Structure 1
């Protein structure tokens, strides 16, 4: 009776943890159960999912010659199984004739067969693939890891569905566009990016024609425009700064026959630290407010789009990066939008109200990403699809960052705000910080 009581208590504890704390359940019980299930059912699952290959011709010929039973299908070899905090990693060697697409196509069947929440696959090298099994819904309650790989212009912004962390790395992906409908979590994503950037030695520049999204962070912004006219002037001032930076890089090159390759400057990161200008991150809150125009020949709009395209084409080497946000991003915004999109490597789509916006963002990446973006439920605010130029895509969700948290971070790091002489006239006018009255 005592053993039955202990067993019942263990089962009840496991069930309670699986319901209330799936991460704890996975670390305490789930890893062992899942590993045993995969080990015991691996061959049967591979056969049921059509991931096996026929026996070799030599073995078939030998079986016919000796009148023996036809050899069974060959199962891909499981090299190793490694547990993680959110699931399992399987390293598999494929047989000749198999390809990685077969495993990615069978991901949903593998998910049901192994009784896990998500299965994704990627090719490590020719003949070797890695299956990532996610044991529970990581995006249901997003919690960022305590330790993340932070670096200059590399910030953690969201959790990926396989349990890893999604980073916004400006040096790898200099320009990005983020679209999403109202109440989709796009503003929370923006706050998270600004909050993380506020602690870094970079200049923040904002364009906010709604006048309410970026103005609370004014103490950390080196320049802020709140009207289309000011935005046109600010963007042209940024283009002028970019040209001055290129002149600085050119003067520092001084290439000669005995100059080492590592000392030839081609961007600001090759310059000595004392000559290196501060990087600039430009946040545009609503692109439609700048691109839409009722006039047929709007000179102000042409100035804005031309400056944006020039910054997107040439800004990376000058340390100038674009973050464009909007509810819509389509050809109806006018001439130049498609050309601008071609320069925006980073693509993030939250829940959208129409398929055309997802197609405009992901149409040149993957049709599967377009479909996934249209399937984001209303109840999952902050969930988004991230597309990569390689054609791959993944699902992420941003942890909730309140306006107060983002403002507090910007105020706390206001001393890091650099003064840019070229943008001095766009520096936001700040109210004095209210004095704290101590209780008597």
Structure 2
């Protein structure tokens, strides 16, 4: 008997230690089984308490009245499948007639309390079926990315979402994005994570950092071009516009639309071009957009107007030419001058870290989802890297980027420096580096000479 008690005490102590130090291990070892039993046992009563049941059919009620029996109970939605994941549970439910997925989404907070889970998110899988993704522990407290993710060219895993899924930055799906955040909110870590993930890919990285390059200059070995002043930024942006126009000429020459050309070979962007003549895609990172828009003299105002015009053109037309924008800033409102709201409308991907006021959150999500605005202003000061991300569909989620130091980003860029393409249009803005012999970047032909 004493041995059993000692064993129980040891196992209980181990469980508590794991729950404190390694919540993911605790979940897989103990929490998943306990939570599964709790959900299955309390499922019917929880559904009834959350008003997610429907009354019995008229036929059953009529039969009960005929034979003077007790009224049949309300019908509970059927469980189709309960699956354990590394972060929680996934409960697939067959809805009853008259229900919709919105009812489950509205009751997600009540379900979280009733089931004793950390987070519950509802989404409609198909007509009549809803899926509850339940998180067993605080995933965002200590972010650990999965060993294997479904990434690819221009699709990188950037953070973990609070529902246990991986948040991706997919440039081909969402070409341009805006990232806002106050000082020390984790905005720079988010930026480093993206650059680190893009460094091994066959893409050209271009940077504009008007803080004299303190953020992007250390990554220069992997950058095809870098501007550190507003004057250099103007020249770089206009050179990108020139490159974009040249790529459109290449696409136009390769279309050759006629009756005998298969539909699959007709293209309006670079991804339909033959690989041998396809221009290398470009990812432009602008570290602090306000430095490009603030002016003090009339001459600076003329320069600013040209910069904003070039940015708007790239945002409107750059996707088909393989030019993608990542714009960062603390604020991005109309106070930055004419054309800013037009530019913001083209940035369909939105991410907001901790902001200092509600108006900054509205700049990111006011035209997408009011709930995302409320969630953004609730991010605490002691949670750097936590952010709200949303897109043009209106859906949003809470994410947190794994901590990426500047040294880690520099090491990744130096390790893949040999992949840095040379773009003739941007040759004047290539960072001056002392490359080791035999490590020179490969030359890429000008788009105007391609095809």
**TM-score when scaled to structure 1?**
0.96
Name the residue aligned to 1:262: 264
CA–CA distance in structure 2, aligned partners of residues 368 and 299 of structure 1 = 38
Q: How does 1:47-196 map to 2 (within 5 A)?
A: 47-196=48-197
3-state SS of the aligned residue for 1:29? helix
1:336 to 336, 339, 342: 339
Output the aligned Cα RMSD.
Answer: 1.4
3-state SS of the aligned residue for 2:26? helix
> Does 2:311 match 1:308?
yes
CA–CA distance in structure 1, aligned partners of residues 289 and 70 of structure 2 = 68
> Does 2:395 match 1:392?
yes
1:272 to 271, 274, 277: 274
> Does 2:361 match 1:358?
yes
Q: How does 1:193-212 map to 2 (within 5 A)?
A: 193-211=194-212, 212=214
Give per-residue Cα distances to partners, 1:135-177, cap 9 Å, x unaligned: 0001101111111222111111111112221111111111000
CA–CA distance in structure 2, aligned partners of residues 218 and 3 of structure 1 = 62
| Most deviating of 412-421 and 291-300 | 291-300
**Consecutive unaligned residues in structure 1, runs of 5 or more:** 435-440
Name the residue aligned to 1:349: 352
Name the residue aligned to 1:28: 29
Runs (4+) off by over 3 Å: 294-297, 431-434
3-state SS of the aligned residue for 2:31? helix
Contact 2:209-2:227 within 8 A present in 1 as well: yes
CA–CA distance in structure 1, aligned partners of residues 368 and 62 of structure 2 = 46
Q: How does 1:215-234 map to 2 (within 5 A)?
A: 215-234=217-236
2:283 to 278, 281, 284: 281
CA–CA distance in structure 2, aligned partners of residues 354 and 331 of structure 1 = 16
CA–CA distance in structure 2, aligned partners of residues 433 and 327 of structure 1 = 38
Name the residue aligned to 2:240: 238
Give per-residue Cα distances to partners, 1:26-71, cap 9 Å, x unaligned: 1111111111111110000001111111111222222222221111
Contact 2:331-2:363 within 8 A present in 1 as well: no
CA–CA distance in structure 1, aligned partners of residues 132 and 435 of structure 2 = 55
CA–CA distance in structure 2, aligned partners of residues 53 and 109 of structure 1 = 18
CA–CA distance in structure 1, aligned partners of residues 262 and 103 of structure 2 = 47
> Does 2:5 match 1:4?
yes
Give per-residue Cα distances to partners, 1:350-378, cap 9 Å, x unaligned: 00001111111101111110000000011
Name the residue aligned to 1:380: 383
3-state SS of the aligned residue for 1:239? helix
Count of residues in Structure 1 that have an aligned counterpart in Structure 2: 434
* 1:329 CA displacement: 1.1
> Does 2:19 match 1:18?
yes
